[in-house]
C-alpha cells in the first residue's frame, strides 16, 4: 500500500467511475481496481458496493474517502514544501580550512556569504591533516586539503594552482638566487608549520628525496611567526607563494624550489557517500566558477 492507492481511490470517487478515473490518470482500470482492493484488505473493510448497478461507496467507503482526500492533499503539500526546502538557498555549511588557506580564499568565502545570506556558513580553522579527519568523520561537510591527495572515497575540486616557495631574509646567503634546489638547503635551519599541516610532511619528503633530513628548529601553526623568524635571520621557511605575495612581498625573498618542485594546490574534498546538500553544491559551483590567482 502506498500513496498512489489513496490517490487512485480518490480520483475514482471524484469521477464516480473507475473507467473515467483510469482515463484521467492515464493508467489501466485494473491498476485502479487492484489499488482499491489493496486498501480494502489493509483496512479489512469494503469501500465500494459491488452489488450496486453504478459506482457507489459503502458507508465505510464514505468515511474512508473523506480521510483519503486529506491524506493525499497533505502528502502533496508536504512534498512540495520538502522540495522547496531541499533546493532553497538555506541550510548550513561546515568547512574545515587550514589557517593559511583561509587567508587566501577569504574573498571566496565572503562572496559565498554575500550571495547566500540565509545559509549558515561555519568555518573550522585547523591544519589540513585535521581538516581531512573532520571530513572523514562527517564533522565537516567539505574540507580544504592540499595536494597530493588521492583517496578513492573522496571527491575533490581544485581551488587554485600555485607552489610552495623557500622564504629567506633579504640578507640571507641565498637571497641573490631566484631558483634553488632542495639540496642547497641541507645545512639550513628549517622553520616550518607543525605536524597538523600537510606541508610539514611534504617538506620532509622533498628533503629526503634530495638526500638529507631537514634540521627543524621551529614548528608553528602561525605563518606570520615563521615569516618574522625568517626576517630576523633565524633560518628559512617554506610557505605557499600566495601568502607571501599578498602580505609581505617586500619583507622577505621568495625562491622557486626545484629538484624536487613543490606544487601547492588546495582542493575542496568531500566524502563520496555524503549527501550533496544545496549549500555544499552552491559552494562547489562557486569554486569552479571563480578563478583565484596563484
Domain 91-160+266-289 shares a fold with domain 162-264: yes
pLDDT digits (tens, 9 = 90+) for 78-97: 887 677 666 667 789 999 99
CATH superfamily, region 91-160+266-289: Periplasmic binding protein-like II (3.40.190.10)
pLDDT digits (tens, 9 = 90+) for 233-256: 999 999 999 999 988 888 999 999
The architecture that CATH gives domain 162-264 is 3-Layer(aba) Sandwich (3.40)
pLDDT of residue 86: 66
Q: How far apart are CA 179 and CA 253, in angstroms?
A: 11
Class of domain 3-87: mainly alpha
pLDDT digits (tens, 9 = 90+) for 192-219: 999 888 899 999 999 999 999 999 999 9
Task: Read off the pTM.
Answer: 0.65
Q: What is the length of the chain?
A: 294
Q: Can you give the residue ranges of every domain in the chain?
A: 3-87, 91-160+266-289, 162-264
Q: Which residues does the chain have with pLDDT short of 50?
A: none
Backbone φ/ψ region at 233: left (φ over 0), alpha (ψ -120 to 50), beta: left
In the chain, the largest separation of any two C-alpha atoms, in whole Å, equals 106
Compute the 3-state secondary structure of the chain and give helix, strand, coil in percent, each to the nearest 5.
45, 20, 30
pLDDT of residue 198: 85
CA distances from 75 to 63, 71, 72, 79, 140 (A): 19, 6, 5, 6, 33
Amino acid at each position: 500500500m502506498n500513496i498512489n492507492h489513496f490517490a487512485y481511490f480518490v480520483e475514482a470517487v471524484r469521477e464516480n467511475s473507475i473507467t473515467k478515473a483510469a482515463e484521467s490518470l492515464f493508467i489501466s482500470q485494473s491498476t485502479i481496481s487492484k489499488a482499491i482492493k489493496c486498501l480494502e484488505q489493509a483496512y479489512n473493510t469494503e469501500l465500494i458496493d459491488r452489488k450496486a448497478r453504478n459506482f457507489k461507496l459503502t458507508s465505510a467507503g464514505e468515511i474512508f474517502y473523506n480521510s483519503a482526500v486529506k491524506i493525499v492533499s497533505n502528502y502533496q503539500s508536504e512534498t512540495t514544501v520538502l522540495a522547496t526546502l531541499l533546493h532553497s538557498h538555506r541550510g548550513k555549511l561546515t568547512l574545515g580550512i587550514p589557517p593559511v588557506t583561509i587567508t587566501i580564499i577569504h574573498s571566496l568565502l565572503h562572496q559565498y556569504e554575500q550571495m547566500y545570506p540565509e545559509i549558515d556558513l561555519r568555518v573550522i580553522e585547523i591544519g589540513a591533516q585535521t581538516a581531512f579527519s573532520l571530513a572523514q568523520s562527517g564533522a565537516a561537510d567539505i574540507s580544504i586539503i592540499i595536494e597530493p591527495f588521492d583517496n578513492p572515497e573522496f571527491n575533490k575540486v581544485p581551488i587554485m594552482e600555485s607552489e610552495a616557495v623557500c622564504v629567506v631574509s633579504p640578507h640571507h646567503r641565498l637571497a641573490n638566487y631566484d631558483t634553488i634546489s632542495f639540496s642547497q638547503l641541507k645545512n639550513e635551519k628549517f622553520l616550518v608549520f607543525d605536524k597538523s599541516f600537510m606541508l610539514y610532511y611534504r617538506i620532509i619528503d622533498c628533503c629526503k628525496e634530495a638526500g638529507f633530513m631537514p634540521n627543524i628548529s621551529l614548528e608553528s601553526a602561525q605563518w606570520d611567526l615563521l615569516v618574522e623568524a625568517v626576517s630576523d635571520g633565524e633560518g628559512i621557511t617554506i610557505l605557499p607563494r600566495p601568502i607571501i605575495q599578498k602580505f609581505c612581498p617586500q619583507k622577505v625573498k621568495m625562491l622557486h624550489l626545484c629538484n624536487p618542485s613543490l606544487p601547492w594546490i588546495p582542493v575542496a574534498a568531500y566524502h563520496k557517500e555524503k549527501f550533496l546538500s544545496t549549500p555544499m553544491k552552491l559552494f562547489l559551483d562557486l569554486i569552479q566558477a571563480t578563478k583565484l590567482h596563484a
